[in-house]
Structure 1
Amino acid sequence: MIAVLSREVWASRRTVDGSRPRSSNRVGAAAIVGWTALAAAMLFVLGRMGESTRRDVIEVSRNFYGVLRVREERLPGSGAAIRRLVHGRTFHGLQFLEGPGREEPTSYFGRHTGVGMLLGTKSQAPRRIGIIGLGVGTLSVYPRSGDRLTFYELDPDVHQMAEKHFDYLESARRRGVDLDVVIGDARLSLERQKPQRFDVLVLDAFASDAVPVHLLTQEAFAIYRRHLVEDGVLALHVSTAHFQLQPLVTALAESIQMQSLTVVSAPDLGRGQQACQWMLVASGDIVSRVPGLAGLETVRRREEIPPTADSAILQPTARRVLWTDSFSNPFAILAK
């Protein structure tokens, strides 16, 4: 870089006939020195940035789906050591490296969230749970011995990272959970499978900048319904900065004769938990199936969650946006 800049500055000193004017000699020399110093400073800064990145990155994986990074960091505030998985700007989850928090659900999956209250509800019989989107496997903290847990994950490298650098999955296996990971597009996998009779089917695939439209159509919801038991519950993670998914999911739920309810949760950074929004979809009354929902207040937006509460029920929307395999309009659900 330094050599190229020096050559370009030196070449620029020539006149039209190719000679070098005497008056420009000192100016040209000063320019060379200045550009050389600037280039050296840039190389120094970039080198320090690369050194910093190498220090906290445990592993990097690149494939067709993008770049995955596993990082070890200190949690702001508490200073607790954590390990997290990121995919570009998309956050896939974290785990504490020590202490009791190591076995606790973090990020968007805390016990006070919509999905946390749903999966944390006690059941007399073993449950069958399906989850679209593996992340680091955080949701595997909820199933108990005898439960059947199936993850559907598009990116094989995400599975490899979750198994290698996080122990949520292995901990679930040690507890006696019958755990499986199906690699490939979740909708195609579900289309090929016979009815799985899930008590709960979780969709955690909408946190990135791009919404996977084929998972949010009337036809896709008909597939999910086929894989649920009669009183099964569908849970969708709809925390996204760019889209308002509530009108869409509400309409999709109605298209398969089911009701929906939205739970918003406040962050708890000390426990590694982010603000989030979950929608629960089921036939009949949802609150009666999830006892933790009974005492929640209803709010118009997440910022209105009472200071003494972790979560609240979001007021239903009057809007309806229905997507099908032949028609979808992302502009209709852009966040305002």
Structure 2
Amino acid sequence: MTNPRRSLFVAAIFAGSFLLFLVQPLMARLALPRLGGTPNVWNSAMLVYQALLLGGYAYAHLIGRLTLRRQLGLHIALLIAAALTLPLSLADLSDLGAGMEALWVPALLFASVGPVFFLISAQAPLIQRWFSADPGAGDPYGLYAASNIGSFAGLLSYPLLIEPLLGLGDQSLIWSIGYGIMVLLLLSVAVARWHLAAPDNAASAMDSADGARSPAAPIAGRRMAVWLVLAAVPSGLMLSTTTHLTTDIFAMPLLWVIPLGLYLLSFSVAFAENRKPARLISRAAPAVVVIAGGTAMMSQSGENLWLLGASVALLFAVSVALHARMYDLRPDPSRLTLFYLVMSAGGALGGMFTALFAPLLFDWVWEHPLLVMAAAALVPLRSLTPWQDRLAADTRLRLPVLAVGLMLAMLLSWHLVLAADQGREAIVWPLYGALAVVAVGVMFNRAAFLAVFGLTMVAIGLPGHVNAYRTGERVRSYFGVYTVSDSKTHGLRVLAHGTTDHGRQFLAPAKRREPTAYYGREAGVGLLLRNASALYGTEARIGVVGLGTGTLACYRTPGQTYRFYEIDPAILEFSRRGRFTFLSDCAPDSEIVIGDARIALEDEAPGQFDILVVDAFSSDAIPLHLLTREALEAYRRSIAANGSVAIHISNRFIDLEPVIAALARDAGMQAMLRWDNPDRTTGLTPSMWIVLSQRAETLAALRQASGRTEWRALATLSDTVWSDQYASTLPQFRWNTLLGVKP
């Protein structure tokens, strides 16, 4: 019997998957100067990768009709041809314009990385098929676990190792070398299987490639439909979890790595030859769905580490349970490529629903609770105690117990709604726990289980949504979910993006021109703009990157000109429709430029501003492409010789002071910082602003004009300078914030 050489196939499939998921963040980083860094950009990228994965699996299924030697020869030849597109670079594709990001981002990524991603994605099913060509090789499906361990390793290695240590040029070179190693491994695989089929006997080759088995019976359409659904729900849930977490739970940079990593890891558990871990997690999955999934409708919960952990635990448990069920329904290895093709189609379907259709259909992340409910309907339900088995079999007791359980659930959910609406957390969580106990208790009946779970999810989440719609409105665009709400207690209208306020305005006509939030008169930007005429004359020219509610417009005085840059047309609509009136009240003739500010500034005339304000955060996500050496050069080019650049660096998770300090030194600019911690009852919020100028005299004049207000020099300096080639937020991460510890 031929030696199957399993380790060689494991190495080849691991290498391909490692490169596949290393290239995803690498390409996102390459594209950052043109795309920005919002969660929906990542979701669009994932949609492209899922589409390419589907195409790769379709290609693997189609070439399975060829002889084994032709499969091997064709695939390796195409891989060598695709190497001509290396090293990786961004395609020269023109922007389709504002509002067309949902189409342009996928098109750009598809054109940039399509050929190599397409071919590498086909290798998981192909290598498993080639492995099973040897009659003594054994079950090939276990190799898929190695494939996903490789994917998981590639994904984590980028933010933890590759990005902090290497620039983009070196990253692309390392990836290209890895690609060459992978091709060599595939050549070794080809040598190991080359003798198993004659090149001119297709029928014989097909039998050998299928492990010398007789053709398997056709697979029923219903069975394939089950594969499709079992693959679609975890895929969609992975993306919806990312969006939900960054929108309403925990707006932490790099958070997208956690859901995707756990999603990949779930395949390794679900497809492993050792079935015990998969069975154990599958058995616990319904309880995890009840306990963690019940919070899926919660909105604006703030930084809550428990909810973060619950959300990712839910994703992992559901993914393992549904993927394990799919594994249990796997076909004979002769139908292996069809199985993976349908599975990939399901993954793409889930991704399309979450990344493409949901932003068009919903004004909030409603796809997340819908997918959680779908998961509850699909996870295997197994009784946890003997008495549940007895109830399921005894029709005389089953109906009364279910009736009592449902009535108790309705009573508890009503009290939970009242407690959640009143913000009485001491009562909310005990009631939530009681409902979870009832749901687990009726788990022997799927309909009752879903009913109690649905009541739980609605009861704890409904009050927050009712309040959001009752006191304001929601708008969802490609760049996120925005909530406008009125607070009668404080007399304010607030614009929130995820868990972060992006502007406030007093509702009283007498106060509505008063700067609020991060933009108060004693904040760094307030001091700079209200002294603009003293520093630059009565005709000072002001540029503002990031419109928000338009608060800064009310620093305009007669003779001054203001120009705002805003990437999201939905933000401008709030001012145009009068939801916020700073712009119309104070600077109605200001020019508004829709699009990416950095690209616009690079195309415009130099020296056009005396002051440029940079305030373009997306929730708490860091716009890396606006804080690099190249970006600062664009800002410096756009201001006069004695001009100033004000950068807003308030952030809960990333310490940006060392980053700006390193950039300022690299550019030969002077810098000083203003930390403002005002009385929050006045509508103001703490803020940190840095002002940079090429001339020390400009900063000295600003310091003098500020009176007794304190400015200080930048205290710390990063070891590295962020650039388009290199930038990593990891060294500047505030771990104490993540852990809830005050500095």
Same-fold status (TM-score > 0.5):
yes
Contact 1:70 1:83 in 2 (8 A): yes
Alpha-carbon deviations, 1:97-132, whole Å to 9, x = none? Answer: 115321110000111111111101133330110000
| Alignment match, 1:188 | 599
Contact 1:200 1:228 in 2 (8 A): yes
The 1-side partners of 2:662 and 2:506 are apart by 38
Deviation at 1:207, TM superposition (A): 6.3
The 2-side partners of 1:27 and 1:283 are apart by 79
Q: Pick closer, same or farther for the CA change 1:265–1:208 going to 2, 3 Å.
A: same
Corresponding residue SS for 2:475: strand
Matches within 5 A, 1:122-141: 122-123=533-534, 124-141=537-554
Within the candidate set 72, 93, 102, 2:503 is matched to 93
> Which consecutive residues of structure 1, in runs of 5 or more, have no partner in the other structure?
297-311
- RMSD over equivalenced CA pairs, Å: 2.8
| Alignment match, 2:636 | 225
Alpha-carbon deviations, 1:195-235, whole Å to 9, x = none? Answer: 25211000112363221111111111111111000100000
Aligned residue type for 1:232? G
| Alignment match, 2:307 | none
Query: Which shows bigger deviation, 26-35 or 197-206?
Result: 26-35
- Is 1:55 matched up with 2:470? yes
Q: From the two aligned structures, give the one with the greater helix fraction.
A: 2
Contact 1:261 1:313 in 2 (8 A): yes
Q: TM-score, normalised by structure 2?
A: 0.38
The 2-side partners of 1:48 and 1:143 are apart by 40
Within the candidate set 557, 563, 588, 1:150 is matched to 563
Deviation at 1:56, TM superposition (A): 1.0
Deviation at 1:248, TM superposition (A): 0.8
Deviation at 1:184, TM superposition (A): 0.7
Q: Pick closer, same or farther for the CA change 1:50–1:249 going to 2, 3 Å.
A: closer
Contact 1:288 1:294 in 2 (8 A): no
Deviation at 1:290, TM superposition (A): 4.2
Deviation at 1:30, TM superposition (A): 2.1
Q: From the two aligned structures, give the one with the greater strand fraction.
A: 1
Q: TM-score, normalised by structure 1?
A: 0.82
Contact 2:654 2:734 in 1 (8 A): yes
User: How many residue pairs end up in the alignment?
Assistant: 304
Alpha-carbon deviations, 1:7-62, whole Å to 9, x = none? Answer: x99xx99969x99437xx336522442134315623555554443332112x2211
Alpha-carbon deviations, 1:111-163, whole Å to 9, x = none? Answer: 11111111011333301100001000000011112211011111110010122
The 2-side partners of 1:212 and 1:238 are apart by 11
The 1-side partners of 2:618 and 2:528 are apart by 20
Q: Pick closer, same or farther for the CA change 1:46–1:264 going to 2, 3 Å.
A: closer
The 2-side partners of 1:19 and 1:125 are apart by 82
Q: Pick closer, same or farther for the CA change 1:19–1:292 going to 2, 3 Å.
A: closer
The 1-side partners of 2:721 and 2:617 are apart by 17
Corresponding residue SS for 2:631: helix
Alpha-carbon deviations, 1:277-315, whole Å to 9, x = none? Answer: 10010123213234344534xxxxxxxxxxxxxxx3345
The 2-side partners of 1:86 and 1:95 are apart by 12
Corresponding residue SS for 1:101: coil
- Is 1:284 matched up with 2:695? yes
| Alignment match, 1:71 | 485
Corresponding residue SS for 1:102: coil
Contact 2:649 2:689 in 1 (8 A): yes
- Is 1:334 matched up with 2:729? no
Q: Is the radius of gyration larger for structure 1 or structure 2?
A: 2
Aligned residue type for 2:406? W
Alpha-carbon deviations, 1:230-255, whole Å to 9, x = none? Answer: 10000011100111111111111122
The 2-side partners of 1:219 and 1:253 are apart by 12
The 1-side partners of 2:663 and 2:640 are apart by 18
The 2-side partners of 1:168 and 1:266 are apart by 23
Q: Pick closer, same or farther for the CA change 1:47–1:205 going to 2, 3 Å.
A: closer
Within the candidate set 216, 231, 235, 2:646 is matched to 235
Contact 1:217 1:325 in 2 (8 A): yes
Matches within 5 A, 1:287-306: 287-296=700-709
Aligned residue type for 1:54? Y
Corresponding residue SS for 1:214: helix
Aligned residue type for 2:540? R
The 2-side partners of 1:113 and 1:200 are apart by 16
Alpha-carbon deviations, 1:173-214, whole Å to 9, x = none? Answer: 36xxx4111111111111111225211000112363221111
Corresponding residue SS for 1:85: strand
Corresponding residue SS for 1:103: coil
Contact 1:13 1:20 in 2 (8 A): no
Aligned residue type for 1:21? D
Contact 1:250 1:259 in 2 (8 A): no
* % identical aligned pairs: 32
| Alignment match, 1:325 | 724
| Alignment match, 2:584 | 170
Alpha-carbon deviations, 1:236-277, whole Å to 9, x = none? Answer: 111001111111111111222211101100122232000111
| Alignment match, 1:81 | 491
Aligned residue type for 2:652? A
Corresponding residue SS for 1:260: strand
Q: Pick closer, same or farther for the CA change 1:48–1:197 going to 2, 3 Å.
A: closer
The 2-side partners of 1:252 and 1:107 are apart by 27
Corresponding residue SS for 2:518: coil
Corresponding residue SS for 2:673: strand
| Alignment match, 1:21 | 394
Within the candidate set 37, 42, 47, 2:408 is matched to 37
Contact 1:130 1:200 in 2 (8 A): yes
Contact 1:217 1:252 in 2 (8 A): yes
